[in-house]
Each structure stands twice: as structure tokens, then as C-alpha cells.
């Protein structure tokens, strides 16, 4: 998974000039992805194509991976709000997961094709950690473990699903994720 220090180095402010530069870099990445694989794109190429200095790139994103996270966040209208304190049910979380995969199918496919599932897992981790109100009473450490476990599972499910299906089905994704996360895929086995 992406190092948390990398994620924190991404600009989160509201400065119009910085936001415009982020958009230019993102547009440059999308243009370059039409020409070559992600792993072959350099930060110098991103800066040159976008007209943004390397210093600005590093102050806004820190890493190439953060540009991809930014893209997913910008297009993700199904993620829970950081401001909301109401709990979501497992059904709601799974339905949002299905919507997220469908609405970002092209971008997610590109991540998977370029072997960047760690970027996807980081996005799922952030979304799951935001859903902490939905967890039963857990300590912060337990919530962190739960978020890591669930994000890894959703990432693996997404990778397997996208590789196996040409036509995604939102309801099928929600059903699969619900079955797995609810524990209904296991027989009765008692408690720990």
C-alpha cells in the first residue's frame, strides 16, 4: 500500500492557482497515458507537458501516485463525506462500492493494467477510514486494522472482477461485497 507520508504530501488547500496547476498536471498525465504506460512516464515529462515546474509538482503532489489518487478523488462522487457523522449500513457501503467501481471503471482498469492496485487500495483505505462511524465500537488502532483489512479485500475483489468481466454490473458488485463483508460466505463456526 502507498506509504501514508506520500498521501499526506498531496496538496489539500483551496488556492485557485494551486488547484489549476493540479488540474494541468492531471490533464498532462491523462494525455501521456494515451501514448505510453504509466511506469514509463517521468515527472519531468509531466511537468513539461503541463507547463508546471518540478518544484510546483512536488509541492502539490509529492509523487506520481498521488496524481492518480487525486484523479480518483476528483471523480469520486460516491465516497462518504468527512463531515458526516451518521453511520452507514453495510448495505449502503456495498452499494456505494458498486457505484464507485462502475463510475470509475475506465480509471480503475487503467490502474490494474499498469499494476497500480496499491493506488486503488489507498483510495479504498481512505474511504473505509472515513466510514469509521459505521464500525462497532473500536479503538482507533482497531479501526485502522479494520480499514486496512476491508480496503485490501475490496481492492482484491475489484481487481479480480475487472479482470474477469468485460461488462461490470453494479448490483452484482454490491451483492458480492456484501456477501464477503457480512461473513455469509462462511459456515457457522462459533466465535473467537
| Alpha carbons within 13 A on the beta-carbon side of 152 | 8
Last residue of a domain, one of 55, 72, 89: 72
Distance CA 111, CA 78 (A): 19
Which residue do the cell numbers 462511524 mark?
133
What is the percent of the chain with per-residue pLDDT over 90, rounded to a whole number?
39
Domain-located, residue 155: yes
Co-location of 101 and 143 in the same domain: yes
Co-location of 15 and 66 in the same domain: yes
Domain-located, residue 188: no
Co-location of 98 and 55 in the same domain: no
Domain-located, residue 56: yes
Co-location of 59 and 92 in the same domain: no
- Domain range spanning residue 94? 76-182
Domain-located, residue 132: yes
Number of domains making up the chain = 2
Distance CA 109, CA 160 (A): 11
> pLDDT digit string (tens) for 140-162?
898 889 889 999 999 999 999 99
Mean pLDDT calculated for residue range 103-114: 87
Decide if pLDDT at 119 tops 70.
Answer: yes
Query: Which cell numbers in the block locate residue 125?
Result: 483505505
* Closest residue by Cα to residue 15 from 71, 80, 48, 59: 59
What pLDDT score was predicted for residue 132? Answer: 65
pTM score of the predicted model: 0.74
Co-location of 92 and 46 in the same domain: no
Domain-located, residue 173: yes
Co-location of 112 and 95 in the same domain: yes
Mean pLDDT calculated for residue range 38-49: 94
Amino acid at each position: 500500500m502507498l506509504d501514508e507520508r506520500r498521501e499526506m504530501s498531496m496538496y489539500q488547500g483551496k488556492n485557485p492557482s494551486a488547484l489549476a496547476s493540479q488540474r494541468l498536471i492531471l490533464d498532462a498525465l491523462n494525455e501521456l497515458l494515451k501514448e505510453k504506460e504509466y511506469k514509463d512516464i517521468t515527472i519531468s515529462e509531466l511537468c513539461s507537458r503541463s507547463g508546471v515546474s518540478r518544484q510546483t509538482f512536488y509541492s502539490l503532489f509529492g509523487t506520481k501516485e498521488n496524481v492518480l489518487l487525486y484523479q480518483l478523488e476528483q471523480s469520486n462522487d460516491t465516497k462518504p463525506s468527512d463531515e458526516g457523522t451518521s453511520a452507514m449500513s453495510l448495505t449502503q457501503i456495498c452499494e456505494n462500492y458498486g457505484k464507485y467501481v462502475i463510475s470509475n471503471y475506465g480509471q480503475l482498469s487503467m490502474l490494474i493494467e499498469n499494476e497500480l492496485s496499491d493506488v486503488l487500495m489507498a483510495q479504498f483505505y481512505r474511504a473505509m477510514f472515513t466510514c469509521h462511524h459505521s464500525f462497532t465500537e473500536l479503538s482507533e488502532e482497531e479501526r485502522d486494522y479494520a480499514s486496512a483489512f476491508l480496503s485490501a479485500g475490496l481492492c482484491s475483489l475489484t481487481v479480480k472482477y475487472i479482470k474477469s468481466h468485460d461488462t461490470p454490473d453494479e448490483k452484482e458488485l454490491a451483492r458480492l461485497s456484501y456477501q464477503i463483508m457480512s461473513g455469509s460466505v462462511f459456515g457457522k463456526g462459533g466465535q473467537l
